[in-house]
A and B are shown apart, each in its own frame.
Chain A
Amino acid sequence: MDIRAALKKAMVEDLHLEDIRPEDIDDDAPLFGEGLALDSLDAVELTVLLQRHFGVAVEDVAAAKEAFASINALVAYIETNKR
C-alpha cells in the first residue's frame, strides 16, 4: 500500500471518521474547517498518527501549518521527513 492510501486508511480508523471511506477523501481539500472538517484536537490525533504509522514528528506550529493543509501536503511532508 502506498503512503497516500495508508495515510487515508489510518485517518479514517484512528480519527474515528464515521461515514467516510478512505477513497472519499479528496487529496486537495482542506483538512480543517471545510473539506474534511477536522477540529483542532484532531490535529493532535493526526500528529500521533503520523508518529505511530510513519515515524514522522510534527513538533511546531510552522510544521503543522505546512503539513496539515491537505492530503497532498501531508504526503509530501511524510516523504520529506520519513526516517
Chain B
Amino acid sequence: MNSRWSSRSLGSRLQHGIFYGLIRLTGVWGGYLLLFFVVLWYALRPSVRNRSRAYIVRRFPSGGGFSRFVHTWRLQWTFGLCLVDRAGAGISGDFSFGRRDFNPGAYGVQKGKGLILLSAHTGCWQMAPFTLAQHAPVPVTVLAHRERDDVDRQAHEHAGREPPYAIIAAGSGPAATVSLAAALQRGEFVCMMGDRIFDPGEMGVLVAFLGGIVRLPVAAYRLASVCGVPLAVVFSLRTGPRRGELVIADIMHVPGSLGKKGENYFPYAQRFADVLETFVRGHPYQFFNFYNLWEP
C-alpha cells in the first residue's frame, strides 16, 4: 500500500453506524444535516485540513487563510454529500445517475470490442460502476483497492447484495491481471483508476498537473496497448441531491508494441492529467485525493 494515503475512513464503525441509522430513518436529508456539523468539526481540525492543503493551494493559489478554509470546507462538504448519497442509494435505492454523452460508439469504439474505462476519484465515483453495470450492454469488471479494516460500506453492502459487477482487487498479482485481459478480449468493460498509485512498486510516470509534477500510474495504457482495446477517460460528477452524471472526457487509442518501459506511456498519462485538470478547474470541489499528490 502507498504510505502517503489511506483509503480508510476518518470515522469509526460507530460513527458510520449513526449515519446509516439516521439515513434509514430520515432518508438522505437527515444525513445531510448531521454531515454539516461533522464536516465543520473536521474542517476546524488542522490535521484534517492539511490532508487537502496541497490541492487547495494549487487549485486556489491566490486565496488567503480564511479563503482556503472555506475552499477546504466546501471540498469536504461535497465529499461528505457523495458518501451520504452512496449510503442512501444502498439503503433505499434512491439515486439517479445520468449518462450525458456516454456513448462510446460515437467516439469510434466498436461494439463487441473491449473498453477500458479510466476514471479518477471525482464526484460520486463509487456509484459510477454500480450504475454503469446496470445499464452497460456487456458485463463490467472493476479493479478496486480496499483496505481490510475499512468500515466504510459500498452501496450494495447496505442491501446485503453482491455488486452488479465483478471486482478484482488491485495488487492481487499476475493471475488476476489475466482475468482483466480476458474480460477485455470477451468485449467487456473494465474500470480502472488513473489518478492514484496504489502500490509504491507500481509503474508510473511523472506528468504536469495543476502547476506541479505528479506521478500517475501507466497500467491502464499498457493494458490497452497489449490487448488492443480503446480507453475512455470517464469522470463522475455529483449534480445534486441523489443525482450524478457520467461524462466521457476523452478516448485514447494506444498503439501496440510499446513495451514495458513507463516512459513509453508518458503521452497518454499526460493527456489523462490534462483532461483531469480541465475537469478539476470546472468542478474544484469534486476532486477527492486527500493527500499530497505533488510530494516527490
Give the complex CA separation of A41 and B226 in angstroms: 9
Chain B hits for A16, CB < 8 A: 259-261
Give the complex CA separation of A41 and B203 in angstroms: 10
Report the stretch among B24-32, B176-184, B230-238 that lies at the interface.
Answer: B176-184
Main SS class of interface, B: helix
Contact of A44 among B203, B227, B259, B261 (CB under 8 A): B227
Given contacts A44-B227, A65-B175, contact A60 B182 (CB under 8 A): yes
Determine if B197 is an interface residue (Cβ-Cβ < 8 Å). Answer: no
Main SS class of interface, A: helix
In the complex, residue of chain A having the shortest beta-carbon distance to the beta carbon of B256: A48
Given contacts A15-B260, A16-B259, contact A45 B226 (CB under 8 A): yes
Q: B176, A48: Cβ atoms under 8 Å?
A: no
Determine if B46 is an interface residue (Cβ-Cβ < 8 Å). Answer: no
Contact of B177 among A15, A44, A59 (CB under 8 A): A44
Chain A hits for B259, CB < 8 A: 16
Determine if B215 is an interface residue (Cβ-Cβ < 8 Å). Answer: no
Contact of A38 among B174, B179, B181, B261 (CB under 8 A): B174
Q: Which residues of A contact B (CB under 8 A)?
A: 15-16, 32, 38-45, 47-48, 58-62, 64-65, 68
Q: Which residues of B contact A (CB under 8 A)?
A: 173-182, 203, 219, 222-223, 226-227, 259-261
